[in-house]
Amino acid sequence: MCLGVPGRVISIHDYTAVVDFWGVRKDVRLDIVDEPVVPGDYILNHVGFAIRRIAPESVAETLELYEMLLRENAGGEDDLMALDVRAEIAGAS
């Protein structure tokens, strides 16, 4: 329920990592993250603590998951067209 922002670990000293968020850097504590974290890893930051390590392949996996959702529910070429048209109508109204 909370602001969780992903960032990339630049360096680590003891339990503190310097993490890059879109070009700004902040210290983030590693006391409660459950996997070993090394520079180059992505973590999810909440109130200055890393609460998860984000596996790098998981972003691509998630996007594939969403594409699959679309394909499952598209029901064929014609329906993709219908989807587009409906989207156009929805977007324009």
Partner 1 sequence: MTNELQFRDPALARSLAATLARLVDEIGRPVAVMHVCGSHEQAIARFGLRSLFPKALDVIMGPGCPVCVTDVPEVDEGVVLARQGVRIVTFGDMLRVPGTVQSLADAQASGANIEVIYSPRQAIEIARETDEEVVLFATGFETTAVATAAVILDNPPKNFSVLSAHKYIPPVMEIVAEMPGSRVEGFLAAGHAAAITGSAVFEPFVERHQVPVVVAGFEPMDILAGLVELLELIRNKTPRVANMFPRCVSAEGNIPAQKQLWRVFKPVGGKWRGIAHVPNGNLRLRDEFAHVDARKRFTIDLPSLWDYAPPALAGQCICGDIMAGIRNPRDCRLFNRECVPENPVGACMVSNEGTCKIWHLYGGVPDLEATA
Partner 2 sequence: MTAILTAPSSGRVTLKQGGGGRAMRALIEKLFVRDFATMPLHNPDFSVGVGAMDDGAAIRIGDEWLVITTDSHVIHPIVFPGGDIGRLSICGTVNDLAMMGATTVLGLTCSVILEEGFALDSLEAIQRSMIAACREAGAPVVTGDTKVMGKRELDGIVINTCGIGLTRTLIRDNGLSLGDRIIVTGSIAEHGLAVMAKRHEIGIEGDLVSDVAPLNAMIASVLAGAPGAVTAMKDPTRGGVSSALHEMASKSGVGILLDERAIPVTAAVRAVGELLGIDPLHVANEGKALIGVRADAADRVLDILRAHPLGRHAAVIGTCVAERPGGVILNTGFGKRLLAEPEGEPLPRIC
Q: Which residues bind partner 1 (CB under 8 A)?
A: 1-4, 6-8, 21-22, 29, 31-34, 42, 44, 46-49, 51-52, 54-55, 58-63, 65-66, 69-70, 72-74, 79, 83-84, 86-87, 90-93
CA Rg value for the chain: 19
Q: How far is the CB of 75 from partner 1 (least distance, A)?
A: 8
Q: Which residues contact 81 (CB under 8 A, 6 or more apart)?
A: none
CA–CA dist 34, 37 (Å, integer): 9
Least distance to partner 1, CB of residue 42, Å? 7
Q: For residues 31 and 15, is the Cβ–Cβ distance under 8 A?
A: yes
Residues forming contacts to partner 2 in the complex (CB under 8 A) are 1-3, 5, 21-27, 45-47
